[in-house]
Structure 1
Amino acid sequence: MNVLRKILLPFVPFYYLVTWLRNKLYDIGVKKSTVYDFPVLVVGNLSVGGTGKSPMVEYLITLLRDKITLATLSRGYKRETKGFLLVRPDAKVRQVGDEPLQFKKKFSDVIVAVDADRRNGIATLRSLTPQPEVIILDDAYQHRKVKAGFYILLTPYYDLYCDDIVLPTGNLREPRRGAERADIIVVTKCPSQLSIEERKKIEYKLAVKPNQDLFFTTINYGDNIMNVSEARSVSSLKNIHFTLVTGIANPTPLVEYYTALGLKFDHINFSDHHNFTDTELIKLSALEFIVTTEKDYVRLSSSISEKKLWYQPIEIKFIENSDFFDVKILEFMNSII
């Protein structure tokens, strides 16, 4: 915890009270939420920073895209535009945000949109032809103006929400009891070998309710690094010294993964969703070989030579019970459609 956050500790009760009161007004119906008669799923978290929302959204897209007409809706964090926009594969990051553009480039058949006003975004999506039958809301757990039919709450193994406090000293966007709104809680970024005993301890710490299901996932790194036209094995990186460039909330797992493989690299780290300046892009373009994350690749690929720039694909892997997770999602979807 940095010094500034410690100094701001007296403001924590005020932030707690404001966010608790806001939630309470929605819970008792004083503030109104819009309810939908078609499947709306939320993927979100209680904390700021990276909890693995994008890989979870991509997992859901892969699960559902062949079954129904699917759309995703994000706010388009750090975009320079306003209002509702449909994301095209040739869009610029500054227009739609990095993660929505990543979704569209990877899943061109899925409707991807951005709108900070989720109610307006949902209404606009439903006016399209073909009309999306299911909408996935990315990072909308605190967007109480919308009452989704299903909530997936993510919390990283190394930073469980039960061990944290609200902003500005902690990282929680709202009090921990907000987790009670979740239908499913997923502990992300776990060690691949997580014992049953430790899982039970985490379940107890999180105070999972009888009506909630708990899952554990780990990060699965692809065997190949990719660019727009090629793939090469990660093991081939042992023959070169490269630069790892990251602009994500927590690059530590990727750094540790490459270190464990015995790879030799320099690491240049930027803040999450970093907007690269012209000066930074010129310096990066001068490097011989760059490996980055998929999200960063979306932001860098238009400025750095394809031959120099590669990205490391990742996906989530359930430690167990992935079939049960899929069943819960499909049961919800089929109960409304």
Structure 2
Amino acid sequence: MIDTLRQLLAPLAPLYGAVAEIRNLLFDKGILTSTKAAIPVVSIGNITAGGSGKTPLVDLVVKQYLSMGITPAVIARGYKRSTSGVQLVSDGRAILLQGREAGDETWMLARMNPEAIVVVAEKRVAGASFIMQHFTASPPKVIVLDDAFQHRQIQRDLDILVVNAAAPFLDELMLPTGNLREPLHNVTRADLAVVTKISPRHDGSRHIRYLEQLGIPVVSTRLKPGYPVRIEPDGSPGRNDRSLTGKVYALAGIGQPENFLETLRETGMEPIGSVFTGDHEPFGASELSTLTLKAKKEGAAIIMTEKDYSRMHDDLPFRDMAAGCRCYYLPVTMDITSGADLLQRSLEQVLRQ
């Protein structure tokens, strides 16, 4: 169905690319202008649609600044959230919105970094203005923009491009036929590239060579799964389970769910079934109820991504599922395999600008 739709929309791809090029040209010539924020800005984004490991990188950057004693403020769009406009997700002391109100990835970032300020805003300039007005007594030292490579209305002091080693980056086509958000040559706007999801199957070497030939410094990373976290009947996270192996049902609403299955197998689990939906899309109550019955019958656990947990944790059908069988989410962190010093120096340099 998806392939058929893409074939039907294929004639629109050149138009999409042309519009993106004209827009970039207008910014390059100063006809469309970018606003300078009051504090330094780090942008993290990609040139393709779909899961690239961008959120784990935002989490890593935020944690690096916190480890320096620097309070960062994250501004995200909050994709698929139920709210609109500028919303304060976390003030660095408490989380003020639920997952669906903030967007699953944004709420997850706030939960994993309780000392960081987190805001959702479709317009990043409005988000930055809100932060400086709201935190006048103790403003953050740096803004980290989530998914903002194409959001050129706000100037950035460090532009980080995220590239998925497992994706056909160099052979990708323009939307809506492929996943390119803009023509590939625009990667040259990046100050730094982070190649993610490197694995024995996908070493990213071709992507890295291409980026380095363009003079873009490269940091290489892989995603490292943590221990599964048991979900309590009330939807709250419980203890880590270091011994979870054997039969599981996988539940995921992410860009590349097949990668999740691969990760489960690598950690000793045996997926015997799965329920997948579109990226950020909800699961129906009947789907969750049916999955619960299957898991109980097979004596299997249900395991999901942390992003899916973040989106569903306060929903009644989800809590019914957690009460009816063993349910877990799998946390994932980013592990730098090369270029750690480069990333650290780049983040520190931003603070001196």
TM-score by length of 1: 0.90
**How much does 1:285 deviate?**
4.9
CA distance in 2, matches of 1:281, 1:91: 24
Residue pair 2:223, 2:332 contacting (<8 A) in 1 also: yes
Alignment of 1:153-164 (within 5 A): 153-164=161-172
**How much does 1:5 deviate?**
1.5
**What amino acid is aligned across from residue 108 of structure 1 in structure 2?**
P
C-alpha RMSD of matched pairs (Å): 2.1
CA distance in 1, matches of 2:229, 2:254: 18
CA distance in 1, matches of 2:55, 2:175: 23
Correspondence 1:321 to 2:319: no
Residue pair 1:73, 1:118 contacting (<8 A) in 2 also: yes
Residue pair 1:187, 1:215 contacting (<8 A) in 2 also: yes
Alignment of 1:267-278 (within 5 A): 267-278=274-285
**Residues 142/264 of structure 1: CA separation in 2 closer, same or farther (3 Å cut):** same
**How much does 1:231 deviate?**
1.0
Tell me the SS of whatever aligns to 1:253. Answer: helix
CA distance in 1, matches of 2:191, 2:120: 24
Alignment of 1:2-41 (within 5 A): 2-41=3-42
Residue pair 2:224, 2:335 contacting (<8 A) in 1 also: yes
Tell me the SS of whatever aligns to 2:134. Answer: coil
CA distance in 1, matches of 2:103, 2:125: 19
Name 1:295's counterpart in structure 2: 307
**How much does 1:54 deviate?**
0.6
1:102 is matched with which residue: 101, 108, 132? 108
Tell me the SS of whatever aligns to 2:22. Answer: helix
The percent identity for this pair of structures is 30
**Residues 224/4 of structure 1: CA separation in 2 closer, same or farther (3 Å cut):** closer
**How much does 1:284 deviate?**
4.4
**How much does 1:118 deviate?**
0.8
* More off after superposition, 256-265 vs 18-27: 256-265
TM-score by length of 2: 0.86
**Residues 189/26 of structure 1: CA separation in 2 closer, same or farther (3 Å cut):** same
Name 1:84's counterpart in structure 2: 86
Name 1:69's counterpart in structure 2: 71
Correspondence 1:139 to 2:141: no
Tell me the SS of whatever aligns to 2:241. Answer: strand
Q: Deviations over 1:249-306 (max 9, x none)?
A: 1122221132245523322111110123333344445444321111111122223345
Correspondence 1:256 to 2:257: no
* More off after superposition, 43-52 vs 323-332: 323-332
Correspondence 1:230 to 2:235: no
CA distance in 2, matches of 1:204, 1:232: 40
CA distance in 2, matches of 1:32, 1:17: 20
Q: Which runs of 5+ in 2 are unaligned?
A: 232-236
Name 1:42's counterpart in structure 2: 43
**Residues 113/208 of structure 1: CA separation in 2 closer, same or farther (3 Å cut):** farther
2:253 is matched with which residue: 241, 247, 255? 247
**What amino acid is aligned across from residue 268 of structure 1 in structure 2?**
V
Tell me the SS of whatever aligns to 1:179. Answer: helix
Residue pair 1:162, 1:206 contacting (<8 A) in 2 also: no
Residue pair 2:245, 2:268 contacting (<8 A) in 1 also: no
Name 2:214's counterpart in structure 1: 209
Q: When the two structures are aligned, how many residues end up with a matched partner?
A: 328
CA distance in 1, matches of 2:10, 2:61: 38
* More off after superposition, 86-95 vs 201-210: 201-210
Residue pair 2:165, 2:202 contacting (<8 A) in 1 also: no
Q: Deviations over 1:11-63 (max 9, x none)?
A: 22211111100000000101111123521011100111111111000001110
**Residues 260/111 of structure 1: CA separation in 2 closer, same or farther (3 Å cut):** closer
**What amino acid is aligned across from residue 165 of structure 2 in structure 1?**
Y
Residue pair 1:226, 1:310 contacting (<8 A) in 2 also: yes
CA distance in 1, matches of 2:267, 2:102: 35
Tell me the SS of whatever aligns to 1:86. Answer: strand
Correspondence 1:219 to 2:223: yes
**Residues 20/107 of structure 1: CA separation in 2 closer, same or farther (3 Å cut):** same
Q: Deviations over 1:86-112 (max 9, x none)?
A: 114362222111111111112111111
